Structure 1
Amino acid sequence: MGNAEIITNAKKKLEQFLGFSFLSPLVIEISIPFYGFYKDNVVAIGYFGDYEYELERTLIHELAHFIQDKICKPKFPYLHMIIEGIPLLFGIGNGKLLGYYQFVEGFATWIDEEIMGYRGDEYWFSVPKYYFKVYYKGAEIFRKLGKKEAIEYGLTNREFCKDPQKYKLLRTISISN
């Protein structure tokens, strides 16, 4: 399967999971293997070779960031970063910066694991402390909620979303059509 098909499949799976359609962001290929990120309407994906499953999982994860950015517009806690940033790199701290990263990365991780399957304890307990604390513990927050509540929380959280009403408006439009 080619990358274009994998991108299309990842988008379709995410749309089915979320219950609504969305326009695709620009997806570009970068030279960093097995890596992906989302920034300003662009999903950047590294070279995955024959690892199509991992590419699809990474695309779903980054597309989840895109959706959260478009609907919720997460607000980064800049002031908290000054105090909490360095300790958090070492997995230390429980402040607002950690909460923000758990909200953003936890949401995307929860979605990619719901769609593509749980990565497994062996994987999670082998990652650096920071990743475990942000990605795994963040996804745990969403796992404890039901699917509908978790999606709503990830797209409307008043603490971290600039526009918490946008998702409710989107749901109203989707239901009425």
Structure 2
Amino acid sequence: MSKTINYQIILWVFITLLISGCLPTTPPPKFPDSEAAEVVASEEFEIVTELQYVPLYNCDSPVPIQQNVSRDFSTEERVDTSILIGLGASIGIGIEATAGVAIQRTKGSSTLETYGTEFEFVAGPNSFFVHTISWNRKWEHGYVRLDSEGVKDEIPYRYLLAVHGRKVSTEEINCNDPESVAAALKKY
């Protein structure tokens, strides 16, 4: 085998070393540690009420009918701290990202609870009833206090504490009065 020097390979190695030596040597951005997070409940509550109407039209039937109305609710208590750096953006605590870099770190915890409420309504033969359910949602307001390497922040939150449903009224519509039936069917 001859000792011929391939100048193309040498040129390629030289250019590769030259280019790699010109790359920026800036270290990647350092993320602050968000170890201190405190949830502060303000003990301020907001109750939101929603009415649901359940018409049971059975005027033309000789047999009873039944309808079940249910709602399932889930509440999730979650505290996340997230930092996204990218495309020359600043995250507001003295760290600047370089162009073309997008890095995200998320730390957090959560608790999920699911519960439901169900109502059963029955309308006998040749009857028409309109049932009213009141749904009440109780919200608590507060904030999450973060302390990240001396930078303090407070993030407001609204948390669903409870949902309660209750039957508040039942209205019977006279099946022998076509105007009342038509008005109720249009309204509900």
Same fold per TM (> 0.5)? Answer: no
Between structure 1 and structure 2, the one with the greater Rg is: 2
Larger strand share, 1 or 2: 2
Question: Which TM-score band applies after superposition, normalised by the shorter structure?
Answer: under 0.3
Structure 1-normalised TM-score? 0.17
Higher-RCO chain (CA-CA 8 Å, sequence separation at least 6): 2
Structure 2-normalised TM-score? 0.16
